[in-house]
Structures are given as structure tokens and as C-alpha cells.
Amino acid sequence: MTLETPPGYAPLSEATLPAFLAAVPALANRLGGTPADWRVNEVGDGNLNLVFLVEGPGHDGRTAGLCVKQSLPYLRLVGEGWPLDLNRAWFEQRAMALHAAGAAGRAPALLHYDPALYAIVMERLSPHVILRRGLVQGIRYPKLAEHVSDYLAGTLYATSDLALPASKKRPLVAAFTANDALCRLTEDVIFTQPYMKHPHNRWTSPQLDATAEAVRTDTAWKLAASRLKLKFMASPEALIHGDLHTGSIMVTETDTRVIDPEFAFFGPMGFDVGAIIGNLLLNYLSQDGHATEEHPRDAYQDWVLATVEELWTLFRAKFLHLWRTSGEGDAYPAALFAGPEGTACLETERRTYLDRLFTDALGFAGAKITRRILGLAHNMDLETIADPDLRALCETRCLALARSLMVETGRYPTIKSVTEAARHVRRTVTAVGPVDRRGLGWDAL
């Protein structure tokens, strides 16, 4: 460890974790037995942190588990050369607590936080798997859209100016502005670096070399990315998760939990909604790299797009329902909109609000797709396609869709038009090469 860390901080290990847990009676009781009985595995395969799963004998013959997530003082994906604020653990546990109020049961339960070790202890999810892995394997999750829309509508509405009085929201906004390091990371690696020459960028080479170069001179695309960046920086609409891709969701066929809100801050709601939609669209277009004659993926791809449609449709309905039936926010004071005319007017305004949120989400979805192909962090959806030519073709389709969502955002009136565009791109983009700057060719759609 060459990086300086605060007094009292040290990375936990499989060897030191039992003593840490034993010192917190509620955790020790939950695991049962004695520390010697506890099995610990470090499983952090993510980009940023240490993650330990702990199993104890529990009580009544049923084993009990915990998950411990600890910040490292650098970006694990890159190494110690990229220091990263330990405080992200504080923001994560705070967001977990605030989000639990809006979307109970859609995230692991928060059990303990140790501020000196920057360590969060939470419910261990079992037998959950990371959604992205399941999607790459072609597994269906029939409750996914239902549950993720619960999470999105619940967390975003509850922390917005629609539900929260301004005097309660302002101190929360202030607290999360300190999550500067992770906001900056998003600003850099999502909205800036993929559109310029940067040592962090990589792509399927040489297949996408010309594509990446063309993006760097595509002024309309760069302008769209910059507008989205400004929206990201200065739209404190709600406490957003900030990193809601398919790797931040754990699933079984009947349960869905959102994890890892360490990027949380008060930002545009469309960023979360767009993140999950963008990652599902990317997965849809990656399936052609995984399909075989024995195991075609066409029907599965239909399911992925149906899930995108359902997710948005349910989110919209649930958000509207919450707004109609609850909230003490200072925006649109109820007293001003009593009576039939006021009620009708406010309902129109709600729909306008959601239409604007939809447009934001599509732009962000495009930005999230682009960065996974040209930027620092890539997705296993595409990375596990062994044939680089086939992978590059899938990626070219992704980029064509992403650019259209960002540059031609106004062309998408409904979620159906988005899934149709995804199908269109899959059908019509048949060769690797720079993305057509004339857009998707809507006349043919």
C-alpha cells in the first residue's frame, strides 16, 4: 500500500474479517457460533472495492450470511495509480438507507457501517447472481421489469422535489455534493474521454479503429455528449443510484436487488433510467455474438426488448401513481391545483414531466452504450464474444443505436420506437465501419 490513508483504515482480509464482525454483537449474533466457525471469501470481481461473503452456522440449523464491502483507496480496475476517495462507502450506505425508504426490499438490507474502515455490512444475497451474467447466458427473469421499475420509481420519486420539501432536500443535496470523486469519474469516463484520444480508452482493434477515430470528429455526437454532461452535473432532481447498469443488479427468477449505489448523488433521474435501458439494449445487440445454431437467441432477444418496453411503461405508470397519491414536495403545491380544472391541468403537467424524463433517459442510454465500447470500462456482454469480427459487428450496431439515441433523441416519441430502432439497427447494420452521420435512416423504419 503506497497510498496514504486515514488513521484507523486498513484493508480487511479474509483473515482479519472475523474479528471485525465479532466486535459488532448484532452481526456476530446473526452469523451464530463463534468466529472460528465463519467462512469468509473475497469475491470482489468489480471495478472498485473489496467484497467479502461470510457464512456462519446461524440459528435453528439454518446457515446465515453477510456481505461486507470495503472501499479501497484506489480504482481497483486500474490499480494504485488511480487513487479514489474512500468516502464512496459513506455515500453508498447513506444512499442505501435513503433509497430503502422509497423502495423497500429492492436492495440488500443495510446492517452496519464502520466509518473508520469505510466498510458496509449488508444482507448476503443468495442464490442471486449478477443480472448481466444471467442475460449473457440467455436466462429470463420474468419479474425484472416489475422490480426494477419499483426501485426506480420508488427511489427517484421519494427523493425528488415532488415528494420532499425543499428544506429537507437541500441538506441531502449538500451532503452528496461531496461525492465529488465519483461524480468526476462519471463526467470523465462517460461523457468526455470516449469522444477524444485518451490513454484510458480501448476498443476492439483494429476492427473499430476507424469508428473510434470518426467519433472523435463527429461534432454532433460530441455536442450531444456535452449537453448530457452538463445535465448530469447540474440537475439535482433526485438522489440517483448513479451506476445502474446490469452489473449493479442481482437476481433470481423471483427476486431482484439493486446493489452498489456508491456513485449516488442528486442528479438527473434520466441517468438511472437510461443506464438500465442502455445496458439492456446493449445486451440485446450482443446476443448475436452468443447465438449458435443449436442455441439461437432470437426469442430471447425479443424478451430483452419486451423487458425494456415493460420497464419504461411500468416505471412511468408507477411514478405517476406516486405523484398522484403521495408527496409533500414544494414543487406544484397541492393547494394551487384543487378542483377539477386544477387536477386535470396537473395531470397534463405530470405527463409532460415524464415525457421530458423519457427524453433525458434516451440520451443517457446512448451515452452509457457508447462508453462501454469506446471508453475505459467494457461489458462482458460484448467482451465474451470470442470472434473479434463478430464482436465488432455487434459493437457497430450498438454505436449506431447509441448515436441515434443521443443525437436524434427527439425522433423517439415512445419506448416502442426505441425497441424498433434496436431491431432496425440489428437488421440493417451488416458491416463494421464508422457510424453513419446521417442517422438511423428513419424513412426506412
Q: How far is 121 from 1, CA to CA, in rounded Å?
A: 23
The DSSP secondary-structure symbol of 358 reads: H
Q: Is 274 in the site for a copy of itself (CB under 8 A)?
A: no
Shortest distance (Å) from residue 360 CB to a copy of itself: 13
Considering only 213-221, 357-365, 367-375, 384-392, which stretch makes contact with a copy of itself by CB under 8 A? 213-221
Q: Choose between 222 and 297: whose C-beta lies nearer to a copy of itself.
A: 222
Chain Cα centroid distance, residue 369: 12
Site for a copy of itself in 216-245 (CB under 8 A): 217, 219-220, 222-223, 225-227, 229-230, 233-237
Shortest distance (Å) from residue 114 CB to a copy of itself: 25
At 286, is the secondary structure helix, strand, or coil? Answer: helix
Residue 281 dihedral angles phi and psi, to the nearest 5° = -65, -40
Q: How far is 129 from 112, CA to CA, in rounded Å?
A: 23
Shortest distance (Å) from residue 160 CB to a copy of itself: 9
Site for a copy of itself in 131-190 (CB under 8 A): 161, 166-167, 169-171, 173-175, 177-178, 180, 183-184, 187
Q: Choose between 341 and 387: whose C-beta lies nearer to a copy of itself.
A: 341
The DSSP secondary-structure symbol of 443 reads: G
Shortest distance (Å) from residue 18 CB to a copy of itself: 39
Shortest distance (Å) from residue 137 CB to a copy of itself: 38
Shortest distance (Å) from residue 344 CB to a copy of itself: 8
Q: Choose between 28 and 346: whose C-beta lies nearer to a copy of itself.
A: 346
Q: Choose between 5 and 235: whose C-beta lies nearer to a copy of itself.
A: 235
Q: Choose between 1 and 166: whose C-beta lies nearer to a copy of itself.
A: 166
Q: How far is 383 from 398, CA to CA, in rounded Å?
A: 13
> How many helices (H) and strands (E) would you count in the chain?
15, 12
Shortest distance (Å) from residue 339 CB to a copy of itself: 8
Instruction: Candidates 53, 58, 129, 332: give the one binding a copy of itself (CB under 8 A).
Output: 332
Residue type, 380: M
Considering only 80-88, 337-345, 399-407, 432-440, which stretch makes contact with a copy of itself by CB under 8 A? 337-345
Q: How far is 162 from 165, CA to CA, in rounded Å?
A: 8
Torsion 407-247-415-317 (CA) sign: negative
Q: How far is 186 from 333, CA to CA, in rounded Å?
A: 34
Q: Choose between 23 and 223: whose C-beta lies nearer to a copy of itself.
A: 223
Burial 89-117 (b: 16+ CB within 10 A, else e): bbbbbbbbebbbebbeebbbebbbbbeeb
* Cell numbers describing residue 191: 461523457
Among all chains, which residue has been given the C-alpha cell 416502442? Answer: 416
Considering only 35-43, 243-251, 287-295, 345-353, which stretch makes contact with a copy of itself by CB under 8 A? 345-353
**How many other β-carbons are positioned within 10 Å of the β-carbon of residue 16?**
13
Instruction: Candidates 53, 129, 346, 380: give the one binding a copy of itself (CB under 8 A).
Output: 346
Q: Choose between 19 and 344: whose C-beta lies nearer to a copy of itself.
A: 344
Q: 273 and 149 in contact (C-beta within 8 Å)?
A: no
Pairing of strands 49-59, 39-42: antiparallel
Shortest distance (Å) from residue 359 CB to a copy of itself: 15
Q: How far is 184 from 233, CA to CA, in rounded Å?
A: 9
Residues 6+ apart with CB under 8 A from 296: none
Q: How far is 396 from 394, CA to CA, in rounded Å?
A: 5
Considering only 253-261, 326-334, 384-392, 424-432, which stretch makes contact with a copy of itself by CB under 8 A? 326-334
Q: Choose between 124 and 222: whose C-beta lies nearer to a copy of itself.
A: 222
Q: Choose between 184 and 427: whose C-beta lies nearer to a copy of itself.
A: 184
Q: How many residues bind a copy of itself (CB under 8 A)?
A: 45
Burial 31-66 (b: 16+ CB within 10 A, else e): bbeebeebebeeeeebebbbbbbbbbebeeeeebbb
Contacting positions for a copy of itself (CB under 8 A): 161, 166-167, 169-171, 173-175, 177-178, 180, 183-184, 187, 192, 195-196, 217, 219-220, 222-223, 225-227, 229-230, 233-237, 330-333, 335-337, 341-342, 345-346, 349
